[in-house]
A = this chain, B = another copy of it.
Amino acid sequence: MWCDDMSSYLEMSKEELEALKKDLEKKYEEMKALGLQLDMSRGKPSTAQLNISMDMFDVLNSKSDMHAENGLDCRNYGGLDGIPEAKKLMADVLDTTPDHVIIFGNASLTIMYDTVSRAYSHGLLGNTPWCKLDKVKFLCPVPGYDRHFAITEHFGIEMIPVPMKEDGPDMDMIEKLVSTDEAIKGIWCVPKYANPTGISYSDEVVKRFANLKPAAKDFRLFWDNAYVMHHLYEDKHDEILDILSECEKAGNPNMVFEFTSTSKVSFPGGGISVMASSIANLDEARKQMNIQIISHDKINQLRHVRYFKDAEGLKKKMMQHAAEMRPKFEATLEILDRELSDAGIGKWTNPNGGYFISFDALSGCAKAIVQKCKEAGVTLTGAGATFPYKNDPEDSNIRIAPSYPTAEQMAQATEIFVLCTKLVSIDKILADK
C-alpha cells in the first residue's frame, strides 16, 4: 500500500543538497509565476461527476405518480424512517436488510452528529447521558476524517489517536483501551477506502471490532461506510465484511451504528443518507426522530430509487464516477512515483477507491509543504486536519484530494506539490545535519 523507499535525499551531502535546492527553487519560482489557482483540499466531486446523474431530474415531473410502493403519498407527511423502496436500496448497498436501516436526510454527517448529540443529552439504551459524565472519550484512528473529529470535539469528548496500519487501525491498542476504560464510548471508523489513507479493513480487523469486550455498555462503533461503492477500478474492488452481522454473531448486536449516503453518487447535499443498526438501536433513534421531524424528504428518496432502480444500477453509476476519478489519481500517483519514489522524503498510499491519497512527509515538514504549495497557488487540506484537535504530533501527514480539479490540473498541482516537498525536505535535512 505504501511506497516508501526512503533513502536517497538522506544520503546526499550538504553540497549536493544545496545545489539541488538552488535548481528546485528556480523551478518553484517559475511555477509560482504561472499564477495557478488549484484546489485539492476537499473531497468534492468534479463538475463532470455532477453531470453523470443530471438525468435524475427528468425522473419526476408534474405527471409523475408520487406514491411509494406501500401507497404512501411521498408529497405528504408520514413515513418517518423512509419509504420501503429506499430502505431496500440502501440496505442492499450496505449488505444488510431493510429492517436494519433508517433513511435520513441529505447528509450522513448529520446522522452522526445527531447520534452523538442524542447519546450526549439522553444516553443510549438506558445508559447515563454523556453530558452527565465527568469524562467521555473516543478513539480516533489516524490519519482520519476531520469532520468526525470536529463532532466529538464539539461535544467536549476527549479524543485518543490510534495509529492506522496496513489493514485497519491498531487492534491490539483498541482492544486494550476499550476493555479497560469505561469512559471510552466510541470510535470513528471509515472501514472501506478510509479517509484519507484509502485502506480497507481486513476481515480479521472487522471480526476483532465485532468481538470487542468494551468496559462501557454504551460503547459504539461509529462505522462511516462513506466509500462503500467508491471503487476506482473495474477489476480491483476491496470488499469488507458486514459489520452488523459480525456484531450480531459476536453477541454485540447493539455495538454499531453504520452510516452512508449517496452524496458522492448523486449529489453532495442533494442525496439521501442512511443509518444501519440493530432493531433496538433503530427503535431508540426513531423515538427521538419522532420528536425532531415528521419525515425526511421522501420525494428525494423516490427520485433516487426511481433513478438508480437498485443497488446494481447504483454500482453502474459508480463506474462512471470511477472513470472520471481514475485519471486524476493516476496522474497524481505517476508524478509522485516518478519524482519521489527514490527520494526517501515521503511515502503515500495507492488506494483502490475512495477520494484521497494520504501522504506522509518527513517529520516536521507537512505544515511547511502545505504553506509552500499555497504560495504557489495550490490549496491542500490544512496540515494536521487528519488528526484530532488538528494536531499531527509528527507534522507529517498531508491529505491529497484529487477529485475536483481535472487530471491536467492535478498533474500541475502534483508537480508543484513534489517541488515543495523536495524543497521543504532539503531544508529539514540540512537543518538536521
Residues of A within 8 A of B (CB): 42, 44-45, 47, 50, 54-58, 60-62, 64, 66, 73-79, 105-107, 109-110, 113-114, 117, 120-122, 129, 131-132, 147, 150-151, 154-155, 267-270, 288, 290-300
Question: A267 near B75 (CB under 8 angstroms)?
Answer: yes
Q: Nearest chain B CB to A73's CB is how many angstroms away?
A: 7
Q: Knowing A110-B292, A292-B113, say if A61 contacts B62 (CB, 8 Å).
A: no
What B residues does A50 contact at CB under 8 A? 66, 73, 75-76
Question: B57 near A62 (CB under 8 angstroms)?
Answer: yes
What B residues does A79 contact at CB under 8 A? 269
Q: How far is the CA of A407 from the CA of B300 in the complex (A)?
A: 31
When the two chains form the complex, which single residue of B75, B77, B121, B298 contacts A117, counting CB atoms closer than 8 Å? B121
Q: A151-B292, A268-B294, A270-B297 are in contact. List 18 more A-B contacts (CB 8 A).
A: A42-B77, A54-B62, A57-B62, A76-B267, A78-B269, A79-B269, A105-B297, A106-B296, A106-B297, A121-B155, A122-B154, A131-B131, A147-B291, A154-B288, A269-B298, A270-B299, A270-B300, A297-B297
What B residues does A295 contact at CB under 8 A? 268-269
Q: List 16 A-B contacts (CB under 8 A).
A: A42-B77, A44-B76, A45-B76, A47-B73, A54-B62, A57-B60, A61-B61, A77-B268, A78-B269, A109-B293, A117-B121, A120-B121, A121-B121, A121-B155, A154-B291, A270-B297
What B residues does A64 contact at CB under 8 A? 57
When the two chains form the complex, which single residue of B42, B58, B109, B299 contacts A62, counting CB atoms closer than 8 Å? B58
Question: A267 near B299 (CB under 8 angstroms)?
Answer: yes
Q: How far is the CA of A382 from the CA of B299 in the complex (A)?
A: 29
Q: Nearest chain B CB to A404's CB is how many angstroms away?
A: 9
Please give me the residue from chain B that is nearest to A105 by CB atom: B105
Question: B294 near A107 (CB under 8 angstroms)?
Answer: yes
Q: How far is the CA of A109 from the CA of B77 in the complex (A)?
A: 13
- Number of this chain's copies in the complex: 2
What B residues does A292 contact at CB under 8 A? 109-110, 113-114, 151
Which 9 interchain pairs have the tightest Cβ spacing? Answer: A113-B292, A270-B299, A269-B295, A55-B62, A50-B75, A77-B268, A54-B62, A131-B131, A75-B267
What B residues does A294 contact at CB under 8 A? 107, 109, 147, 268-269
The listed residue with most B CB atoms (<10 A of its CB), out of A78, A293, A295, is A293
What B residues does A150 contact at CB under 8 A? 290-291
Q: Nearest chain B CB to A115's CB is how many angstroms away?
A: 11
Question: A297 near B299 (CB under 8 angstroms)?
Answer: no
When the two chains form the complex, which single residue of B57, B107, B298 contacts A270, counting CB atoms closer than 8 Å? B298
What B residues does A61 contact at CB under 8 A? 57-58, 61
Q: How far is the CA of A299 from the CA of B106 in the complex (A)?
A: 11
Q: Nearest chain B CB to A87's CB is how many angstroms away?
A: 16
Please give me the residue from chain B that is nearest to A80 by CB atom: B269
Please give me the residue from chain B that is nearest to A117 by CB atom: B117
Question: B60 near A270 (CB under 8 angstroms)?
Answer: no
Q: Nearest chain B CB to A23's CB is how many angstroms away?
A: 39
Q: Nearest chain B CB to A82's CB is how many angstroms away?
A: 11
When the two chains form the complex, which single residue of B66, B75, B110, B121 contacts A293, counting CB atoms closer than 8 Å? B110
Q: How far is the CA of A122 from the CA of B116 in the complex (A)?
A: 13
What B residues does A267 contact at CB under 8 A? 75-76, 299
Question: B73 near A269 (CB under 8 angstroms)?
Answer: no
When the two chains form the complex, which single residue of B62, B75, B77, B268 contacts A76, counting CB atoms closer than 8 Å? B268
